[in-house]
């Protein structure tokens, strides 16, 4: 089996569910970001990061962390990445709608089940996208390397155990969630890895995507939303065969029409093609 794609995964937001509040926008979202490149471009990613830092004035850090950048540097980073041969995938989960939910089928402690569940949904889209773009002659032998940015409180062996269980259910036709599935031929459990954020530029690219999305849907201390950074990444957010971003490069849970989002939060999803008339009147009333 040959590794043809490298998938770097990072997050923005806290996977804990107890902090979400119905009338708060400060801790409502959990974002997972996948930065994906073909294997032949993987050695170029560090050069891309160096190019970005080279555009920064007075940059002392050897790595890039989106939340530490001033707005002009955030824009530079996103605009430069948007010119590279890569793709982003995002899963955005509104935590208020998850507070009472507990997935008893994922036997891991604390909020880790939530992180692994979101990772699974993210990889459903990544595997389908990469498989569709692989050569029909060789796609059955092509796999991906999955690299998580290391964070405390997670046992990555639990993720592999969870995925093996889901794969067994899939192959037996007994998936609990019927709407989606991974392309399992793309998964090689020996290629699931964990590295610190600073250890690879690919993880820093995933961090940039996660941070950009988070700031588009989460207000800063002045109550403002900043969608301009995520909009700058639009050219490299994955699209389906019809050119649609939503439910391919961007997956939102629950469905957007059910979310009580403020008008400034809704703008980014409308930018990605969501019908402005599709918001539920009841949800809009709650947001006002």
Pair 107, 166: CB distance under 8 Å: no
Closest CA to 210 of 13, 77, 63: 13
Q: Token digits for 86? A: 């890569």
Task: Tell me the per-residue pLDDT of 147-177, one tens digit each, with 9 for 90 and over.
Answer: 999 988 888 999 999 999 999 999 988 777 6
pTM for the full predicted model: 0.91
More confident residue, 56 or 174: 56
Q: Where are the beta strands (DSSP E) in the chain?
A: 2-12, 29-38, 87-94, 142-149, 187-195, 250-253
Task: Tell me the per-residue pLDDT of 68-124, one tens digit each, with 9 for 90 and over.
Answer: 999 999 999 999 999 999 999 999 999 876 555 455 455 544 568 889 999 999 999
Q: Token digits for 140? A: 């059955």
Dihedral angle, C-alpha 274, 276, 278, 279, nearest 10 °: 110
> Which residue shows structure tokens 């707005």?
71
Q: Token digits for 178? A: 């019927």
pLDDT score of 272 more than 80? yes
Under the banding of pLDDT at 50, 70 and 90, the label for residue 20 is very low
* pLDDT (average), residues 170-199: 89
Dist CA 117 CA 114 (whole Å): 5
Burial class (CB in 10 A: 0-12, 13-18, 19+), 107: exposed
Residues forming a β-bridge with 237: 88
Residue 249: its pLDDT value, please? 98
Whole-number mean pLDDT of the chain? Answer: 88
* pLDDT (average), residues 37-63: 91
Q: Which of 63-67, 104-108, 260-264 has the lowest mean pLDDT?
A: 104-108
Under the banding of pLDDT at 50, 70 and 90, the label for residue 25 is very low
pLDDT score of 234 more than 80? yes
In sequence order, what are the residues at sequence separation of 6 or more whose Cβ sits closer than 8 angstroms to the Cβ of residue 237?
87, 88, 89, 90, 245, 249, 250, 272
């Amino acid at each position: 089996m040959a590794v043809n794609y490298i998938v770097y995964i990072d997050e923005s937001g806290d996977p804990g569910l107890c902090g979400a509040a119905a009338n708060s926008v400060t801790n409502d979202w959990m974002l997972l970001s996948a930065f994906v490149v073909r294997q032949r471009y993987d050695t170029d990613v560090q050069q891309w990061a160096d190019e970005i830092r080279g555009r920064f004035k007075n940059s002392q850090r050897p790595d890039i962390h989106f939340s530490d950048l001033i707005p002009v540097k955030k824009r530079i980073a996103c605009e430069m990445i948007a010119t590279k041969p890569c793709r982003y995938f995002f899963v955005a989960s509104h935590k208020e709608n998850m507070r009472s939910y507990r997935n008893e089928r994922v036997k891991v402690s604390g909020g880790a089940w939530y992180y692994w569940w979101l990772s699974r949904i993210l990889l459903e889209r990544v595997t389908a996208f990469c498989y569709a773009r692989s050569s029909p002659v060789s796609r059955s032998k092509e796999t991906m390397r999955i690299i998580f940015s290391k964070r405390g409180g997670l046992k990555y062996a639990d993720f592999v155990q969870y995925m093996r269980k889901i794969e067994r259910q899939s192959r037996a036709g007994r998936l609990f969630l019927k709407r989606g599935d991974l392309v399992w031929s793309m998964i090689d459990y020996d290629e699931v890895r964990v590295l610190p954020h600073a250890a690879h530029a690919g993880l820093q690219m995933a961090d940039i995507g996660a941070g950009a999305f988070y700031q588009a849907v989460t207000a800063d201390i002045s109550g403002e939303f900043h969608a301009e950074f995520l909009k700058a990444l639009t050219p490299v957010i994955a699209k389906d065969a019809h050119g649609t971003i939503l439910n391919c490069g961007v997956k939102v849970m629950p469905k957007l029409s059910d979310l009580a989002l403020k008008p400034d939060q809704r703008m980014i999803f409308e930018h990605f093609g969501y019908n402005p008339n599709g918001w539920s009147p009841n949800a809009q009333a709650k947001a006002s």
